[in-house]
Every structure is written in C-alpha cells, then in structure tokens.
Structure 1
Amino acid sequence: MNEPAQPAGRGDPADPTDPAHGVTTGAVARRLGVAPTTLRSWDRRYGIGPAAREDGRHRRWTPGDIAVLQEMCRLTASGVPPSEAARAARAGSVAAAPPAAPSPAPARQPGSGNGLPLGDVRQECRGLGRAAVRLDSPTMDEMLGSLIGEYGLVTTWEEVMVPTLHAVGRKWETSGDQYVEVEHLLSWHVSTALRRVSIGALSGPRASAPPILLACVPGEQHTLPLEALAAGLAELGLPARMFGAAVPPEALDQAVRRTGPAAVVLWAQARSTAHHALARHVAETAWGVKGARARTTVLLAGPGWAGPAPAPGMLRPGGLREALGLLRGLCEAATAPAGGGGAAPQRS
C-alpha cells in the first residue's frame, strides 16, 4: 500500500524541511515521530526549543536544534525523566561539534529508539512507540487523532496502530512481566481513538440496510480489530451492532434471529479459539415467513480462521479494507429493490 505524501506546513513560505531556512515544528514532529504539542511543551517547560524564530513568532528548527531533540527523545524513551533528559540533551549539544545538516528522514527506517522490535515501519510507529514506552497519554491521544485525520482510519489502523501494538506485544512476551502497562495503556488509547471515530460519524446519514453484527467467538478476548471495523462501518454510514468479546453461542443465535442481519462478522485471533461449528450454525440460521426465509453471510475475520477455503455462505476478508468493501456490498444487496439487479438475500 502506497504511503500518503507528507504535506508541507500550512502557510510556510519555504520548504519546511530545507535546513537553509530552518525546519518547521510540524516537519520536525513528523521526522521524529512525536506530537507538535510535545515539542512546544518541551520548549516551554525545559528550554528545548529552536535557537531562532522567523519574524519573532514562527519556530524554525536548525540541524543543531534537531540533534538536541533527537537526544531528548532517546533519553526519555529509555526512561529518563524529561527534566533530566533536557539538561543532558542541552549539555551534550554544547560539548558536541556542530552537526552536519541532516537529509530528510525516509518514511520507513529500521529501529525505533524505544526498545520495541518495530523493524521496517512507518516513521509514525516509532513516535507512537516512544510515547507508549514513556506512558505519555496526552501524546498518544493527540498522535492517534492527528493520524486518523491526516491519513484516514484504514491506513492509520493497518500501517501505524497494528504494527505498534504487535511490537509492544512481542516485547511483553519476551520481557517477562515488563511492558504489561505499556500494552494496556496503548490498547486503551487505540480503542479510545477508534470509538471517537464511531461517535463522530453517528450524526451523519445512516443506511436503511439491516445491521451488521460484530462478535468475537467464545473464548476470544481480542476486540480491537472489531472496534476498528465498527469505526469503519460508522464512517460509511452502515448500521452495526458491536457485541464485543467472547459472545456465547446462544446469545449470538438470538441476536441473529432478532435482527435479521445483512452480515455477521466473527473474529478469532487464534486457531484455538476459531469456532467453526458456530460459524456454520450462523450461516445456516434462517428467519422470515415460510417460502421467503432468509439467511445471512458470515465473515470469518482474523488469523484464527486460516486454512481451507470458507464454506458456502461464508467469506474470509484479508484485512480491514477488504472487509469494509465486502460489507458495503452486502448492505447494498440487502437494500436493492426486487428486480433491480442487486444480489438477492440467501433463501432456504
């Protein structure tokens, strides 16, 4: 998937990454993977700011200023309190020789500077990882909101949220009891950002299609992928019912019969939780009057369903983007007028 182009700062008369003119705060924030408000806070609280300001107002960061910020990020990510990190970063800049002007950082680089096994990922993943390791809630909150606003929900989920969550999870698994608090806090902020998208879309127009049911199979506690799907459906104006983690089979059966859904999405993170018998039961459940009984389509979502091709009445999307496309098509088919060329509901 191609990465979106990084726009220049609004109203900047020169290239915001041109060292000859200094670099804007927004460009520095993108380069380092931190929120612009974090840079302004460090400037106000600890004096980690630009040496010069254009017209006395706009911050323009020199290569030396950026080197101090890089050291500040490195120290805070390793657990040094910000006030101590600022003193050390400033002291190091005085002792060091003036650095050469850096070239613009590529969008993807190995390593993270925060101890997380991120590998070759977007620059923003490293910034989000640094904030998570510092337990910096305000920065995580602002970064996630800004990324969704700039790149959209799907790209932010697939290229920033998921890689960072996976890296924190791997670090947790290999570090004993360490990093548990990092994983929990990051998951909470990702969930909060996704729900804000859903809530913000509620005021828009809503489709008249039957709802889409979202549920984790029994024994499955991983709900974030379903929350991302719920947010994407809300953006599309498609009705959804989110039932969350570990839904009992009897409860899911009753929900299907009561709502007559356009589709049912069943999430399984691992093969040990994938409930194939439940998926078949949902796909075979029929409702309505005799002679015109309808069935729903089941989407098998998550890596737990990997294996042979799905049975009739089931689909297995490859990711969030594909799942949204399939569900939009199913809702359009469910609302298509008879004889209008749309796919008819499955009949028994």
Structure 2
Amino acid sequence: MYDTAHGMTTGAVARRLGVSPTTVRSWDRRYGIGPAVRAGGRHRRWSPADVSMLEEMCRLTAAGVPPAEAARAALEVRSGAPAGGDVSVGGPPAPVAVEPAAYLKEPSPAPARRAAAGSGLPLGEVWQECRGLARASVRLDSPAMESLLGTVLEEYGLVTAWEEIMSPTLHAVGRKWESSDDRYVEVEHLLSWHISTALRRAAVTGPAAASPAPPVVLACVPSEQHTLPLEALAAGLAERGIPTRMFGAAVPAEALDAAVRRSGPAAVVLWSQARSTANHALARHVAGTTFGVRGARTAPLVLLAGPGWLGRPPGPGTARPEGLRAALGIISRLYEESAGSEAAGG
C-alpha cells in the first residue's frame, strides 16, 4: 500500500517495476528520472506521479527507445500525472507521444569497448527491438520480455524476429556471461525460457498439426544441450504447414535411430553447437537409413545445422544450411518437389 504522507522507498518502487534498486538510482543520476521531492533532502521517496514516470521509462526502454530519449518522454508523464492517490490501483499511465522513428530506426554504431559489470550487453549495431529485449532481460522484466517477443513475431515474422532480435540478444548475453566471471547466468536462463515459450507458441499456432506429409525430425546430437535454434526452425516449418517431430536436447544415438526408422521422415535436422559434439559417423548413419516398401525405399535428407559441423564438407545425403532462412528454404523445396512428383505420378 502506498504511504501518501511519505511516498514509496526506492526498494519498494524497484520491486513494483521488476527492476533493481541500482537501476532506479542510475536513472535518477544519469537522466534526472528521480522523485520530485526528497525526504530530508537526501532520501528518495516516490509519489504516484513519480512511479507513473518510472513505469513509462520501463515501457519505452523495453520497446527499444534509447534511455536518454525515454527519460525525456517519461518526465512528461509526471508533469501531466495526478498529484495524489494510490498508485497500486487503476490503469496504466496515458501514453506519451514519441517520434515513431525512435522505435524503428537502426541505431548508430556504438563505440567498441570492453564489457564490464553493469555496462549493459555488448550488442553493437542492432535493431532497436533487440536493444529493448536486452534491457528487459538484464532487468529480469518478464512481462516486458513476453510482450516484446510477441510483438516482434507478429510484426516481422519468425525468421526476421529470430535473426535480427532473438539470436543477437542471446549471443550478447553469452558474451557478457563469458566476460564477467560467470555473472548474468540468471539473465541467460530467463531470456532463453521466454524465447523458447514464444517460439513454441508460434509452432503450436501453425497449420502443420494434421498434415499427412512425412515429418521433419529435429534433434540435438548426443551431448548437445542447445535447443533454441531447433525450436526456431520448428516454428518456421509450422508456419509453412510442414509437420515436425522435435526430440530436443542430447538425443542418444540409439534413440535417434529408432525415431528415424519409426517416423519415416523426409528430412532429419541434427544440431551441433560445438565441434566437440558434432558426430559425423552418426550423421552418415542417419543419411544411410532407408525405410518404406521393398523396391521403393527412401532415405531422409540430413541437414547438418549449427557451427559444430563446420570444417568438413557435407557428405552424401547431407546438406549444411547457413542459418534458419537457408534451412527453411532447403526443406520447403524438398516438400515442393515431393508434392510435384506425386501430382505428376497421380
């Protein structure tokens, strides 16, 4: 409950917004986003108008607006917000007019610098929505992450959302983790979970659920735990009406062999993130697996996906796509050719 006499403390405001108290103090120090009145001249006490201002700051930065510009817009919220009342009830603050270009334009290249604790994620030149997702993930702001991911998938489609926003943010979190003595692991876990949730929602809403066509088998090779690229591919195939069977992380060789023989797939995608997990013998075995009636037996096309497969040319019955867009193109053409052959033979 809000204390109308003294206002909310910085810690209480931070908990309400889902950010750290350090972030709130930093906004005050850097951009003047502080309480209009300070108790005793020193301690921060936040009024309802102050909290509305911070809520708008969170909303704008999560949308990718640069913090300095978001702060200027957020200050307008306080200037027009009611002076009293309980901020724990009621609707969201009225939107502030911000130039549309602030959301859509690509930022100027940032100067190169070493990542340090508290300096943000090393993103470089990326889309504004990518910066917004990064800021929300560092704040552990789950509602903002969920909203932004849903918006970019709807507005840009799966491939662009993955290549320009999701994947760059994941890579930036990984680089930050590597350069900060194992900090930010919680950021990586939360971001991965939200991206996985968004991708699975996209896959479920695709038209491929009842397709009679043979599926695409998606699996990580043994010892490989990175599944998000496969989840992105599964969602992209669902958009195109192509059925999939997702087997996830670290699929044992025997289980993969059984899955291929039982499902009779048109293609098998094997993901390897590092050369230490790439299993070329297993890939050759899968590419040589045949099924179907005698005299008309077929074998799946094996896609060697991920950086772990680099260094060797793909063997017979295999292909190595360079990214999500290429993998979708290869598989889509495979199904189009199959449909054309059936139509010609029918």
SS at match of 1:299: strand
User: Hey, what's the Cα distance between the residues in 1 that align with 2:302 and 2:100?
Assistant: 50
The Cα of 1:71 is off from its aligned counterpart by 9.1
* Residue 283 in structure 1 maps to residue 310 in structure 2: no
Match of 1:146? 151
Match of 2:202? 197
Q: How does 1:221-232 map to 2 (within 5 A)?
A: 221-232=225-236
User: Hey, what's the Cα distance between the residues in 1 that align with 2:99 and 2:340?
Assistant: 57
Match of 1:132? 137
SS at match of 2:344: coil
Q: How does 1:199-214 map to 2 (within 5 A)?
A: 199-202=204-207, 206-214=210-218
* Residue 316 in structure 1 maps to residue 320 in structure 2: yes
Q: 1:286 to 1:47 in 2, by over 3 A?
A: closer
CA contact (8 A) 1:209 1:335 kept: no
Match of 1:107? 106
* Residue 252 in structure 1 maps to residue 252 in structure 2: no
CA contact (8 A) 1:262 1:334 kept: no
User: Hey, what's the Cα distance between the residues in 2 that align with 1:305 and 1:205?
Assistant: 30
User: Hey, what's the Cα distance between the residues in 2 that align with 1:257 and 1:296?
Assistant: 10
User: Hey, what's the Cα distance between the residues in 2 that align with 1:288 and 1:103?
Assistant: 56
The Cα of 1:102 is off from its aligned counterpart by 9.2
Unpaired segments of 5 or more residues in structure 2?
A: 1-46, 56-67, 77-86, 88-97, 112-117
Which amino acid in structure 2 is aligned with residue 138 of structure 1?
Answer: P
Match of 1:327? 331
User: Hey, what's the Cα distance between the residues in 2 that align with 1:66 and 1:338?
Assistant: 57
Which amino acid in structure 2 is aligned with residue 165 of structure 1?
Answer: L
Match of 1:220? 224
> In structure 2, which of residues 161, 168, 171 is the aligned counterpart of residue 156 of structure 1?
161
Q: How does 1:333-348 map to 2 (within 5 A)?
A: 333-338=337-342, 340=344
Which amino acid in structure 1 is aligned with residue 241 of structure 2?
Answer: G
Q: 1:239 to 1:65 in 2, by over 3 A?
A: closer
The Cα of 1:104 is off from its aligned counterpart by 4.7
Which amino acid in structure 2 is aligned with residue 152 of structure 1?
Answer: G
Deviations 1:150-196 (A, max 9, x none): 01110000000000000001101111131010000000000010011
The Cα of 1:48 is off from its aligned counterpart by 1.6
Match of 1:237? 241
CA contact (8 A) 2:53 2:75 kept: no
SS at match of 2:337: helix
Match of 2:63? none
SS at match of 2:283: helix
Unpaired segments of 5 or more residues in structure 1?
A: 1-41, 51-63, 73-82, 84-100, 343-348
User: Hey, what's the Cα distance between the residues in 1 that align with 2:138 and 2:219?
Assistant: 31
User: Hey, what's the Cα distance between the residues in 2 that align with 1:224 and 1:189?
Assistant: 11
Which amino acid in structure 1 is aligned with residue 109 of structure 2?
Answer: P
TM-score when normalising by structure 1: 0.68
> In structure 2, which of residues 72, 83, 94 is the aligned counterpart of residue 68 of structure 1?
72
The Cα of 1:286 is off from its aligned counterpart by 1.1
Worse-superposed segment, 148-157 or 207-216: 207-216
CA contact (8 A) 2:106 2:125 kept: no
The Cα of 1:324 is off from its aligned counterpart by 0.8
User: Hey, what's the Cα distance between the residues in 2 that align with 1:126 and 1:110?
Assistant: 13
CA contact (8 A) 1:206 1:238 kept: no
Q: CA RMSD in A?
A: 3.1
User: Hey, what's the Cα distance between the residues in 2 that align with 1:134 and 1:108?
Assistant: 21
The Cα of 1:66 is off from its aligned counterpart by 4.3
SS at match of 1:169: helix
Which amino acid in structure 2 is aligned with residue 128 of structure 1?
Answer: L
Match of 1:305? 309
Which amino acid in structure 1 is aligned with residue 219 of structure 2?
Answer: A
The Cα of 1:208 is off from its aligned counterpart by 2.7
What is the aligned length? Answer: 260
The Cα of 1:297 is off from its aligned counterpart by 0.5
Q: 1:186 to 1:69 in 2, by over 3 A?
A: farther
TM-score when normalising by structure 2: 0.68
The Cα of 1:246 is off from its aligned counterpart by 0.4
User: Hey, what's the Cα distance between the residues in 1 that align with 2:194 and 2:100?
Assistant: 33
The Cα of 1:147 is off from its aligned counterpart by 0.5
User: Hey, what's the Cα distance between the residues in 2 that align with 1:44 and 1:330?
Assistant: 59
The Cα of 1:334 is off from its aligned counterpart by 3.3
User: Hey, what's the Cα distance between the residues in 1 that align with 2:335 and 2:293?
Assistant: 21
Match of 2:192? 187
